[in-house]
Structure 1
Amino acid sequence: MQILIVNDDGIEYEGIHILSELAKDFGDVTVVAPMKQCSAMSHRVSIDREQSIRQSTIPVAGCKAYAVDGTPADCVKVAIGFLGLKPDYVFSGINDGINAGFDIAYSGTIGAAMEALMLGIPAIAYSRLRKGEADYGTVRAHFHDLTATLLRRDPLKDSIWNINFPNCPASSCKDILHDRRIAPQLVIPDTYHLIAQDGDETTVKLSGHMLDASAFDEGTDLRAVLDNYISVGSVRCPVL
C-alpha cells in the first residue's frame, strides 16, 4: 500500500513524525507537509501564487519527505498533481489538538483529508488532545489495531474517518468509542482580546479556552475525548 502523509502543523512537528513511524506498518510512506504551521487553514488552496517545494528529511527511516510552501490541502494537490504520487490512502495528522465539534470546519487536518477524498483517495484524519505535556502513549498503544480495522472496511466514498485520541498514557485510556456524533459546539470558544488602539486602527487577538467535559452531551466526539476515550467517527464531504 502507498500511503501519503500530510498535516497542518508543519513538517517539523513531532506528530507527523510519529504518524509516519506508525504508518510504516501498513505500507510505503511519503510525507508531503507544509513548511510552517498552518492550523485553521480549513480547505484553503493557493491559486495563482508561486509555491516552493523542497525535498526534506524527517527522523523516520525509509520515508521520503517533501516540504511545501502552502496549505495542508495544497500539499495533497502537490503530491498528486506535481510529484506524481499515487497513494492508496491519505493519513492526515497527528494534529496537535483535537478536531471535534464545530472545530472540524476550521481544521487544516480535516481540509487535507477532504482534498484527498475529492481526488478519489480515501483518508483518515488523526488528532490528539492538546492538554498539558504531550503524551502519545494512547496513540502508540491503539494506532495499529484501530487503523487496521478501518483499512479492512470498504473505503468511504463520501466521508473521511476522523479519529481523536486523548492526551494520556495508555493505562488511562478508557476505551474506543465508535460512531461518535459531532458535537454542535466548539471545544474552544472564541474570545477576542484588545491588543492596541492607535487612532482608527485597532489590533485584536483571537484566542480561547478549553471547556470541561461536562459542557458536552454524552455520545458526542468532544465528550468522549475529554473523558479519556478514543473517539472514532466520520465526516461527510459536502460536495460528494
Structure 2
Amino acid sequence: MAVSKRKKKDPVILVTNDDGVMAPGIRNLVEAVKDLGKVVVVAPDKPQSGMGHAITIGSPLRLHQVNLMDGVEAWSCNGTPVDCVKLAVDKILGGKPDICVSGINHGANHSINVIYSGTMSAAIEASIESIPSIGFSLLDYSMEADFTAARRYANIIVKKILSQKSDKHLCLNVNFPPVTDDLIKGIKVCRQAYAKYEEDFDERKDPGGKKYYWLTGAFVNFDKGKDTDVWALANNYVSVVPVQFDLTNYVLKTKLEKTFHK
C-alpha cells in the first residue's frame, strides 16, 4: 500500500472516530483541523460506540479508500477504532503522525464514559504509541447536531498542542456542552468526575418466547466537586481532562507496600 505523500513542514494529523467514517462528527473534525496540517482519515466502516479498547484478533482486517471530502485522504476499516490507529501508523502513514485526533463523538465521553468509549480508546492507543492525542465529544447524540462551537474550539485546542512541545504520551479528553458558541464560557481543565450509569436490564421475550435483555439505566453524578468535567459541562465550559493509560493507583501502592512488608 502506498505511503501518503506529504510536505515535511506540515504536521501530519491522523483523524479517526468510533461513529464511523461517514458520521457528521468526523467531517466536522476534519473541517476543524484541515488548515493546521496534512490530514489523513482512517476510521471504522460502521459505528463502533462502546467498543472500548477492543482489537480484532482471528479475522482479517481490510482497508478501503473512500471519498469523504475533497482533498482529504480517507480510509475505512472493518475493525475497531484501535485497529484503525494501528493500521494507520503501520500501513497508511508508514510512520507516526504528529498528532491523532478522534471524534467528534456524538454523545458524552465525560466521567466513566472514558472507560467504554471507542473514541477515547483510539486516542489512548495513539498515546501508547507515543503520539500526542485528543478525543473530542459533543453532548448531543443527534445526527443533526450543531457542531459550530465544537469545530471552533477543536481548532483552538489542536493548534495550541501543535504549537508547543508536548509530552509524547499526552492524551486529552475534550467534551463540548450542547449549546451555541455564544453561550460557551471558555475552556476549563478538569479532573474526571466520579459519575456513572446506574444500570438495569429490561427483560423481554421474543416471538418464540425466549428471554432477551436491553441495557437501560440513568446517569448519576456522585461527585459534587466544581473542578470536574461534569460540572464544567453543566456550566457551559468546554471540559479538558488529561488522561493516561497507566492505571496504577500509586497511593494504594504505597499503602500496600507497607502492608506486605511488615
Residue 181 of structure 1 corresponds to 191
Distance in 1 of aligned mates of 2:32 and 2:181: 16
Residue 53 of structure 1 corresponds to 63
User: Please, which of 147, 164, 172 is the counterpart of residue 175 of structure 2?
Assistant: 164
Distance in 2 of aligned mates of 1:116 and 1:122: 7
Q: Contact conserved, 2:131 with 2:170, CA < 8 A, in 1? A: no
Residue 46 of structure 2 corresponds to 36
When Rg is computed on C-alpha atoms for both structures, the one with the higher figure is 2
Change (3 A) 1:155 1:239: farther
Distance in 1 of aligned mates of 2:35 and 2:198: 38
Distance in 1 of aligned mates of 2:132 and 2:223: 33
Q: Deviation string for 1:35-94 (max 9, x for gaps)?
A: 100001111101121122111111x32111110001000001111122244311101110
Partner amino acid, structure 2, of 1:173:
I
Aligned-residue sequence identity (percent) comes to: 34
Q: Deviation string for 1:105-153 (max 9, x for gaps)?
A: 0010111111111122111111111266612132133232222222233
Q: Deviation string for 1:164-220 (max 9, x for gaps)?
A: 111111011122112x0101112x442321122789953101133455x89743211
How many aligned positions are there? 236
Query: What root-mean-square deviation, in Å, do the aligned CA atoms of Structure 1 and Structure 2 show?
Result: 2.3
Partner amino acid, structure 1, of 2:18:
D
Distance in 2 of aligned mates of 1:130 and 1:97: 5
Structure 2 length-normalised TM: 0.82
Q: Unpaired runs of 5+ in structure 2? A: 1-10, 249-262
Q: Unpaired runs of 5+ in structure 1? A: none
User: Please, which of 196, 202, 206 is the counterpart of residue 211 of structure 2?
Assistant: 202
Q: Which moved more, 1:191-200 or 1:168-177?
A: 191-200
Residue 231 of structure 1 corresponds to 239
Structure 1 length-normalised TM: 0.89
Q: Contact conserved, 1:225 with 1:231, CA < 8 A, in 2? A: yes
User: Please, which of 144, 149, 166 is the counterpart of residue 155 of structure 2?
Assistant: 144
Distance in 2 of aligned mates of 1:49 and 1:224: 42
